Homo-oligomer: A and B are copies of this chain.
Amino acid sequence: MMSLKSFFEPSSVAVIGASREPGKLGHEIFKNIIDAGYKGKIYPVNPKAPDVLGVKCYPSIKDVPDEVELAVVIVPARFVPAVISDCGEKGVKAAVVISGGFGETGPSGAELERQLVEAARKAGIRIVGPNCQGVNSTSVGLCATWPLIRTKGPISVISQSGTVLAAVACWAEEDKVGVDKMVALGNKCDVDETELLEYLSNEPTTRVIALYIEGVRDGRRFFQVARDAAERKPIVVLKSGRTAKGAQAVASHTRSLAGMDAIFDSVFRQAGVQRVSSVEELYDVCKAFAGLPLPKGKDVAIITSSGGSGILALDACVELGMNAPDLPPETRERLKEKLPPECILKNPLDLTGSATSQMYDEAITALGESRVADAHVVIVGDPMPGISEVIVKHVLRGKTIVPVMLGGGKAEAEERAKLADSGIPVYSDPVRAVRTLSACVRRALWKDSFQ
């Protein structure tokens, strides 16, 4: 089968159904491709428009004078099979079919989808969709989806829900983390989650893969591919249809078989894929994998200026199966020399309200050198100028540090922004941070288990 490269690095793109009317998908997507700074050639196709946004428009894909590698299709479903045949004649290699009105709508839509697949096979064209929210490949500025997302980053997302896709991408853009490739699967009449997972696991610009799925087409093949992919990079999966009611709803939404949830759970665990249970957690965990070194094990030290937040983090560590080892006497001695007497030299190490960035630095250094823990949860309760530099320094030295900032008001925002500039995630809640860390620890233990 032809590679998926034409979806992500096409030399030219035609938008079939490009529209002059703001608000219409055919307009928004065409505009997003231009605004994202796509450098290849771009051809709007629409028999009724002389140009779209000042770009010369063609009545049919066959009228485009040059080669077209990728087609983005936003025309009513009944025209799509013929459009794909035309694309075949033109030598188009891949098509993203945004249009809905196929298998998801019932028998007549399913027949149209069959015709679409047949046309694509004849023409040798690979299809993403139909009924999908498109594709984004930030490395080439190809935002063939919405909203407009341009920030390049380490996370690629494969999603059976356009909204989940957009949410993760929006958060990654806000945090300056950025995304690499985004694919909405839609009805996956051709390209599916497994093939994309395999492709992205070999993409050097993708460092973490997020998956939202409702089912998989071929469970055995998914397992093999996911396991191989997980050896290369972290895979984080959100799978819905966990309950019986949820599984029924999955059948209505994307006609997937949600399957027995316990089986998925076990497949994910064996394949080394980290399962999460909400959209926010999907993003939280991806952000951690993208920005932090993997811990070596499950021993966690908590350093905090807020006693209460430290205890909340500690409870969560224990409940999620991690260890919070006591500090050995020599480490306590060392800390005693470096820190003021009000500090509580335990785990959590409570620097109290008088904490400074300098004290955090001493604490991380001392704990790090005595190898008390595999990972550090660093909780900053008050505005703390300079804390981001301290965290960046230790992360660059290979320490797994999960920063939590809460309660600092506007002063906090600056330090958060500096961490973002260094690609280091920061969390607003100690429990949420520890839950995220637990996914990193699970990956570390999984990797250990076969080494």
Measured CB to CB, the residues of A under 8 A from B are 100-101, 105, 133, 146-148, 159-167, 170, 212, 214, 238, 240-246, 249-250, 252-254, 277-280, 305-312, 314-319, 324, 341-342, 344, 346, 348, 350, 352-354, 379, 381-383, 406-411, 428-432
Contacts and interface: CB of A to CB of B under 8 A. Distances in A.
B170 A409 contact: yes
Given A100-B342, A147-B408, A315-B243, A309 B163 contact: yes
B428 A344 contact: no
Which 10 pairs of residues, A with B, have the shortest CB-CB distance?
A161-B308, A166-B407, A147-B409, A163-B381, A163-B306, A253-B307, A278-B431, A167-B406, A246-B315, A167-B407
A315 B280 contact: no
Number of copies: 2
Given A147-B383, A166-B381, A278-B430, A246 B159 contact: no
A51 to B, nearest CB: 26
Nearest to A169: B407
A352 B162 CA distance: 11
5 contacts: A100-B354, A147-B407, A147-B408, A164-B308, A252-B350
Contacts of A324: 245
A75 B348 CA distance: 28
B383 A429 contact: no
B243 A319 contact: yes
A430 B277 CA distance: 11
Contacts of A350: 252-253
A315 B214 CA distance: 12
A148 to B, nearest CB: 7
A305 B253 CA distance: 11
A167 B278 contact: no
Given A243-B315, A311-B214, A432-B280, A407 B250 contact: no
A163 B406 contact: yes
Nearest to A427: B280
Given A164-B306, A307-B161, A407-B170, A428 B252 contact: no
Which of A315, A341, A408 neighbours the largest number of chain B CB atoms within 10 Å of its CB? A315
A315 B240 contact: yes
A311 B253 contact: yes
A278 B312 contact: yes
B170 A318 contact: no
A391 to B, nearest CB: 18
